[in-house]
Amino acid sequence: MWSFQNLLSILCTLLSCVTSAAGVIHVFGYEGRDVQVSCSYESGYEDYEKYLCKNNCGNSDVLLTTSERNKTKYSIYDDKKTRIFTTTISDLRSIDAGKYWCGVTKTGKDFYTEVQLETTKDSCCEDVIKL
């Protein structure tokens, strides 16, 4: 029989526990697994470069852009029909937790959305009893 905690854990894994409140996207992921960060943008910016960066979002903080779609730990996909770009962070570690920014490059100041990533150890299956 499934417990509520097990069902909630599975649901969080499937949905990556992404919520948005007051302009901040909160993302929850389990260490050792992948997590997806989905960011929306307004109509008219479909052909602009999108990116994910960490900390203060300076040039050295940019993790990847839509023009360099895949890196070892990160990948990005831009769905121009829904105007949502999704970044996957693979093999989460506790050091991955923190502040990120979804960005859309444009003339002048870029558009940013703050992302807070929290990680935790996956304790889902430590207590599983095999019959």
What average pLDDT does the structure give for the chain?
81
**Sheet with 62-65, edge to edge strand ranges:** 19-21, 24-30, 111-120, 98-104, 50-54, 62-65
Does a structural domain hold residue 30?
yes
Asked whether residue 89 is domain-assigned, the answer is yes
Number of domains in the chain: 1
Could you tell me the CATH number of the domain that includes residue 84?
2.60.40.10
Q: How confident is the model at residue 44 (pLDDT cuts 50, 70, 90)?
A: very high
The pTM (predicted TM-score) of the whole model is 0.73
Q: Residue 114: give the domain boundaries.
A: 16-120
Residue 125 lies in a domain: no
DSSP run (H or E) holding 106: none
Which residues contact residue 105 at a Cβ distance below 8 angstroms, ignoring those fewer than 6 apart?
A: 48, 49, 50, 51, 65
Q: What is the pLDDT of residues 69-119, one digit of tens each?
A: 677 899 999 999 999 999 999 999 999 999 999 999 988 889 899 999 999
With respect to residue 45, please indicate whether it lies within any of the assigned structural domains.
Answer: yes
> b vs e for 66-76, b when ≥16 Cβ sit within 10 Å of the residue's Cβ?
beeeeeeebbb
